[in-house]
Amino acid sequence: MTGGAVRRLGAEALGTAFLLMGVVGSGIMAERLTDDGALALLCNTIATGAILGVLILLFAPVSGAHINPAVTLVMALRGVLSPRLASAYVAVQIVGAVAGVWLAHLMFEAPVLALGLKARTGWGQWLGEGIASFGLVLVVLGCAPSRRETAAAVGLYISAAYWFTASTSFANPAVTLARALTPSFAGIRPEDAPAFVLAQLAGAILAGGIAPLLFAHRSEKH
């Protein structure tokens, strides 16, 4: 493996770890500071949208800042990444996501090894995940190759999707799997995670197919 590939994988792992620290850590903090569910979700939203924008600005020049297996899958289908590198991206994204959850637990002195308890299931939530991922991939492809545009748009889109989707917009298979390992505010029951992941992948693939019709003028560089 070349030094460039190692740097790209390191960026994807570190970026996904920080994303999960942002999601889970802010959820734990909000849960401890308020009993108001709407206020807790707002705090979680602000932290997640902000960290996403920062991570894209930071890591886009290194790896493209996918930080999301659904985005990586679409890039592989578009020929931007080789299947081998895409598979490595997904592997380190998942490892980084799990590490981020565990680090969030450690920071807040919660049990490191635990499972999600929050039920998140039903056709409305699955549709929400499909829509959230569809929109996210459209934002990524539509704003490329501008790093600043993408960072701002992704952060704002996910912040909005937290509120307009019934599922609160996980929109990321690595995030979903990792959030099945936390009983905190941001968690999901492990048995509910597979349907979320399938909906996310379906939405992402659909967006990847539609995007060339909408954004033919955009560069393929990422």
The string of pLDDT tens digits covering residues 25-71 is 999 999 999 999 999 999 999 999 999 999 999 999 999 999 999 99
Count of domains forming the chain? 1
Residue 180: pLDDT above 70?
yes
Residue 1: pLDDT above 80?
no
The sign of the torsion formed by the CA atoms of 107, 110, 12, 203 equals negative
Question: How many Cα atoms are found within 13 Å in the side-chain-facing hemisphere of 207?
Answer: 27
Confidence band of 9 (pLDDT split at 50, 70, 90) = very high
**Parent domain of 118:** 3-214
| Average model confidence (pLDDT) across the chain | 95
Confidence band of 220 (pLDDT split at 50, 70, 90) = very low
Which helix (H) or strand (E) element contains residue 44? helix 37-63
The CATH number assigned to the domain holding 134 equals: 1.20.1080.10
Q: Is residue 81 part of a domain?
A: yes
Confidence band of 218 (pLDDT split at 50, 70, 90) = low
Which helix (H) or strand (E) element contains residue 131? helix 123-143
Q: Is residue 219 part of a domain?
A: no
Mean pLDDT of 161-186: 97
Please give the pLDDT value at position 75.
Answer: 97
Q: Is residue 108 part of a domain?
A: yes
- What are 101-116's pLDDT values in tens digits? 999 999 999 999 999 9
